[in-house]
Structures are given as structure tokens and as C-alpha cells.
Amino acid sequence: MRNLARKILRGRSRKNEIIIKTPEQIEGIRRSCRLAAEALDFIEPHVQEGVSTDALDRMLEEFIRDHGAVPAPKGYRGYPRATCISLNEVVCHGIPSERIVLKKGDILNIDVTTILDGYYGDTSRMYAVEPISDAARRLLKVTKECLDLGIAQVRPGNRFGAIGAAIETHARAHGYGVVYQFCGHGVGLKFHEPPDVMHVGRPHDGPVMKPGMIFTIEPMINEGKSRVTVDAADGWTARTIDRKLSAQYEHTVLVTPTGYEVLTDIHGEYPAT
Ligand code: MF3
Ligand code: CO
Ligand code: CO
């Protein structure tokens, strides 16, 4: 009876239950993840002084659609654009706009989520309009390290809290604030699935990771205070409360029988464990 119940649940979800993806679903999600990462590579040479975030968003939407996919954000809970582009003190969910034009010294996150054959892939990374300040460069480096330390905690039997604990410890050691009002999430069959993947916490808290789970790790790290406020006018743009810089990197990760596979890594940066 227990086993049967488990079998029926494979590849589906009861409310609040973390979906164990089937091999077929994993392959579909892997393809979508690769496309999302390719989109981030594609846009890199276009991230230049004088370009608007509206122009970048349009190029990304065309790239995604030309590859047979749909940009997941567009229309998601009323979100108006294909991607999120978050500059400097914007923590996440920056809405691309003709009025936001890149200038020297800017740091920005571009976040792409694709739906390919019904499967979701979600990834983001930071770009710099050189030259940037030493303080900004330090923030980018430590934020990427936070993502990597989070990923290193992914293995069957470990708890989700271990991811948050590793990230929080590293960020705090550098005097940075960790955003706790937004988190990572299960992903693959839907945009946002259980569980919430916190970027703060304690190693023995949270659900246990199991092979076939797929989720994002996407730490948002602030130069100053952790708190963020959401723009009342647009209902989306999240900014640091002290208007200091924020950075974010995001990967979609699969729990394997022995460790992890970073599904949005197309550069071989994270050999599967
Ligand atoms: N891609 C974002 C994430 O990492 C979510 C964006 S929601 C949107 O979860 F509506 F703003 F697109
Ligand atoms: Co995400
Ligand atoms: Co994302």
C-alpha cells in the first residue's frame, strides 16, 4: 500500500509534496534548462552601455521563441515581460523598460525561465558594464560563491536547510545581507513548485532531498541590509531597503542518486557528482 501510493505519486504532485520527476520528465526539463542557459550566453555581447533593458528583453524573447519555447514570466501573475532584468539596488523582478538604459558601472541580473514542450528551466546570472567598482566586483564574486556552496550541499539524505545554512554563513562572513523575503523553489512541471528553497537557515531543518527532485538555488545577496521593499507603483520591482547593491545567481539543480546535476550548466562548470 505504501509502495503503491509512492508509485502513483511519481511525476505528479499532491499539494505541498515535492515532486519526484520521472526519467522522461527529467530529460524534458534538462532540454528546457539548456535553452535558458543558452539564452543567457546569447545576450552577453549585447549587454553594453547605452542599451535599454527593454531592448535586451525583446532580443531574449525572440531567441526563446525562435527555439520553440515560451518565456514563462510573460503573463505570469500579470507580469508584463519575457524576462526579469534587475540593476544595481534592484534585488529581483526588475521589469524591462525603455527608460532603463545601461551605463558604465552598472551590475545587472538577467533571469530567464523557458517553457519548452511544457517543461520549465530557470536560470539567472550577473553581467557588468565595465568598469565597475571594486565593491561591486567583490559582491559578484561572493554571490557566485554562495550559489556554488549551496549547490555543493545537494545530495540525497541532506536537508534543504543545509543549502541555506551554507549560503548564509558565507555571505555573513563577508558582511553581506542575505535576502530572506524571496527564495528558490521546486521547478520543472510548473514555474514554482514546492519546496521553498531558503537561502538562510540551519542544516538540520527542512525536507530531506531525494533523487529526482528538481529545484532552483538563487541566492540574492546584499551589500548592506537584508530587507527588500517592493515598488508600490509596479507591484514587482524589489529593491534593497538601503538602496545598496544586490546580486543574484541562479541554477536549476537535479538531485541524483549520488549527488547533483546542474541542469542549467552548459559550460561544464559543475561536473555531475
Ligand atoms: N525567474 C524568477 C525566479 O527565479 C521568477 C520571476 S517571476 C516573474 O523564480 F513573474 F517575475 F517573472
Ligand atoms: Co527561480
Ligand atoms: Co529565475
Question: Is the per-residue pLDDT at 216 higher than 70?
Answer: yes
**Who's near 193: CB < 8 A, 6+ residues apart?**
13, 18, 19, 185, 186, 187, 215
Specify the pTM: 0.96
Give the tens place of pLDDT for each residue, 99-113.
Answer: 999 999 999 999 999
Distance of CA 241 to the CA centre of its chain: 21
Number of other CB atoms surrounding residue 198 within 10 Å: 22
Tell me: pLDDT of 9 over 60: no
Give the model's pLDDT for residue 3. Answer: 44
Question: In this model, does residue 54 exceed pLDDT 70?
Answer: yes
pLDDT at 10: 58
Mean pLDDT value of segment 128-145? 98
What are the boundaries of each domain within the chain? 3-262
Share of the chain above pLDDT 90, in %: 94
Above 60 in pLDDT, residue 7?
Answer: no
Radius of gyration from C-alpha coordinates of the chain = 18
- Please check the confidence at residue 8 and state whether its pLDDT lies above 70: no
Q: Which pLDDT value is given to residue 4? A: 41
Atom of ligand 1 nearest to the CA of 72: 12
> Beta partners for 272?
none
The three grid cell numbers given for residue 142, joined into one nine-digit string: 561572493
pLDDT at site 272 = 81
Q: Can you read off the three cell numbers belonging to residue 185? A: 523553489
Position 130 scores a pLDDT of 98
| Architecture of the structural domain at 3-262 | Alpha-Beta Complex (3.90)
Q: Which atom of ligand 1 is closest in space to residue 113's alpha carbon? A: 1
SS3 of the chain: helix, strand, coil, percent, to 5: 30, 25, 45
Distance 84 CA to ligand 2 centre (A): 11
Q: How far apart are alpha carbons 220 and 172 in whole angstroms?
A: 13
Lowest mean pLDDT among 8-22, 170-184, 244-258: 8-22
Which cell numbers hold the place of 170? 558565507
Q: Residues enclosing ligand 1, CB less than 6 A?
A: 73, 76-77, 79, 84, 93, 111, 113, 122, 216, 218, 250
Q: What is the rounded CA–CA span in Å between residue 86 and residue 235?
A: 14
Average per-residue pLDDT for the chain: 96
pLDDT at 262 over 60: yes
Q: Please tell me the number of the ligand nearest to residue 252's CA.
A: 2
1 has a pLDDT exceeding 80 = no
